[in-house]
Amino acid sequence: MFLHIGGDVVVLKKDIIAIIDSETGLAGAATKEFLKTCQAEGFFRNINSDEKVKAYVITDREIYLSPISAFTLLKRS
């Protein structure tokens, strides 16, 4: 099964490791450091740069910056 995470992007549900809310999920220092390192190493894929990032969808290969809220993505899955 696939999950539509914004734009024209779909990912396999089995490849999703975590979905993190962009506001509340960044409260922890470890999460911030992890995402900062991933960005520096080029793992980020911004789905739509015109819209605000509402969720980080972490897969086994990339981290997608989704304009769809984490709550909505979780309801879809």
Give the model's pLDDT for residue 49: 78
Strands 2-6 and 9-12, bridge-based pairing = antiparallel
Range of the domain at 7: 2-76
Beta partners for residue 77, in sequence order: none
* pTM of the model as a whole: 0.90
- Going by pLDDT thresholds of 50, 70 and 90, the confidence category of residue 77 is confident
Task: Give the span between the Cα atoms of 56 and 1, in whole angstroms.
Answer: 19
Distance between terminal CA atoms of the chain? 9
Domain count, the chain: 1
Nearest Cα residue to 72 out of 50, 57, 60? 57
Confidence grade of residue 26 (pLDDT, cut at 50, 70, 90): confident
